[in-house]
Structure 1
Amino acid sequence: MSTHDREDTRDRENQPPPDAGSPSDAGSCPDAAPPPEVGSPAWWSARYAARARRRSRPEGLSLEAIMRASLRIAADEGLDALTMRTVAERLDVRHTSLYRHVPSREALLVELIDHMLGEITLPEPAPDWRAGTEAGAREYRRVLLAHRALVPLLTRGQLLGPNALLARERGLRLLTGAGWPAGAGWPAESAVRIYLTVTHYVVGAVVLDTGGAARTPARRAAMSDLFAALPAGRHPLVTAHSALLGGPDGEDEFDFGLRCLLDGIAATREAR
């Protein structure tokens, strides 16, 4: 089988069969609206509606089982190995049986990210907004680093699945001070800004800590050596501080950055 044939086979097996609700001929109905982009708000809205209509089958294949198998494949073999067929083989079922739960590989990846977010656990109740936000940020980072293979998927779009929405609810409840004495929480606009800022900081830090950007001890040492070997006349500060520039690891940088971020947020409240 040629490389082209293998790629074509893989493309076909990652698409829903004709009876799974996908159009067989995009040109047959020119006035039909295109399907929503996978992972978009419209796609998730349709997904939630479909879940509400679906009848459970206690003895049948479940989305939970598909997600668990997908996580194992991604961890063991990487994202490139994660296809509808490899998931079906791991579960010992026909790959066409997966389409009742996930209509395509792209949908599988979107669902997998949300499934991963379900592993986030937070102690309740939090003593205050800062301690709770810091604990949430560290727990979010822990879960992402535990599933490094999935980190590249975080930049594909907004996280709008059920576990992501639950995380938003918890974060906003903490920041607005729901259930606390009056005045203990942040105003709604500030709470939303804080939640998004801290969440985006965590994602950005994890992206830089994984994949080709990960700064292992060997890479940090090599960076220090490179800085030290630069022409001192042109880069006097970089060469003078070469050991410091190559020294901090991802954990140190994350801790420092998170403290500075929360210090700055707290200062805006004091200024009010």
Structure 2
Amino acid sequence: MTRIFLAGDSSVTSRQASMAPMVGWGQTLQLFVQGAEVINCARAGASTRSFLERGRLAWILENGVPGDLMLISFGLIDMKPGDGRFTEPFKEYQGFLRQYVNAARDRGMHPVLITSHERRVFDKYGNMRRPLGQYPAAMREVATQLSVPLIDLNEWSVAWWRHAGPDGTKALFLYLEPGEHPNYPKGVADNTHLRAHGGVECSRFIAAEMQNRALLPPSHFRNLQAQFDPEQAVEFLPDDVFDQQTKERVAEVRR
């Protein structure tokens, strides 16, 4: 069976039950894929630099086989200074992306670059801002230079966020009133992380783009036009399983 390995940050990762209803789009991708296993190795707080340095890319390369896909999506953490994770978009960020692509190809895997969805940031007049700045453009340039398939989730998300507006986007992101959910008794207003509806539609878009680009045979895709209750469709990992996967999916980095 073909496998789809996901390398990315908190926008991609599968969340544990104690973090519900926060989701990453990698958590919902399997809803739209059949006959191929999604193995979500993305981790919250990961940049292209830290994911590689902490052995997470190495684990994918050790476990992947020729013909598997590697979906690569970073940017939300690369832009943050400090903690040894920051990368300049047209310098280290591009350099690390090239390492991912070349390493996947050396293993016989098929790399796919996916720009990060945009954050929910509007000014006082309701105009949407784009805090990710140059990172999506930097990834697009690498995709062109290395002839890698690119799925532009960033542009797609910007169009959706703008259409939904400052109020409508609150239903897509992790916005909860005090007492609305036991995991967030004081409420939360998170402009970075999605909840079920946002995650499901992001993964639906990605799966549709994968189908359009023939990254998998047509029979591997399902539910692309189906409507269902996102809150009921999303599954959350038990916390102990999440913790175990986080510890296990690390390999020694070869220098």
TM class, shorter-length: under 0.3
- Normalising by structure 2, we get a TM-score of 0.25
Q: Kindly name which structure, 1 or 2, has the bigger radius of gyration based on alpha carbons.
A: 1
Larger relative contact order (C-alpha < 8 A, sep ≥ 6)?
Answer: 2
Whichever structure has more helix as a proportion of its residues is: 1
- Normalising by structure 1, we get a TM-score of 0.24
Whichever structure has more strand as a proportion of its residues is: 2
